[in-house]
Amino acid sequence: MASLITCPHCGTRPKEEFSIRGAALRRPDPAASDEVWQAYVYVRDNPKGRYQEYWHHAAGCRRWLVVERDNFSHEVFGVVDAGGAAETKSQARAGE
């Protein structure tokens, strides 16, 4: 049930240590059009299945992480540091 999250810095930790921001979308360019910004702020793909979210390890290293999970089975596929993460799938989608 996504109860344990393996932080790349702190190891496997209970989920209560994290606070969850939501969909891991890439912030648009400041000069991007209103449509792009409104989609970034308000529209969500909300798929049933694999999903990437920003989690903050609030009671640990205080790093922002990208957690990739299945939001139906609650299986966790991977956790990477948001700062060092290569472009993730949903980030790439948001940038389209």
Partner 1 sequence: MRYSAYSIFKQALSGNRLWKPAWREPEPMPHYDVIIVGGGGHGLSTAYYLAKEFGITNVAVIEKGYIGSGNVGRNTTIIRSNYMLEGNNPFYELSLQLWEGLEQDFNYNAMVSQRGVLNLFHSDGQRDAYARRGNGMRMHGVDAELLDREQVQRLAPYLNFDHARFPILGGLMQKRGGTVRHDAVAWGYARGADMRGVDIIQHCEVTGIRRENGVVTGVETTKGFIGCNKLALAAAGNTTTVGRMADLRLPIETHVLQAFVSEGLKPVIDQVITYGAGHFYISQSDKGGLVFGADIDYYSSYAQRGNLATVEHTMQEGVSLIPGLSRAKVLRAWGGVMDMSMDGSPIIDRTSIDNLYLNCGWCYGGFKATPASGFCFAHLIAKNETHHVSRFMRLDRFERGYVLDETGKGAQPNLH
Chain residues in the site for partner 1 (CB under 8 A)? 1-3, 14-16, 19-23, 34-35, 38-39, 41-48, 51, 53, 69, 71-74
Give strand pairing partners of 13.
Answer: 5
In whole angstroms, how close is the CB of 72 to partner 1 at the nearest point?
A: 5
In whole angstroms, how close is the CB of 42 to partner 1 at the nearest point?
A: 4
Between residues 42 and 62, which has the closer beta carbon with respect to partner 1? 42
Between residues 56 and 63, which has the closer beta carbon with respect to partner 1? 56
CB 20 within 8 A of CB 55: yes
Residue 19: exposure state from Cβ atoms within 10 A (0-12, 13-18, ≥19): exposed
Report the amino acid identity of residue 68. E
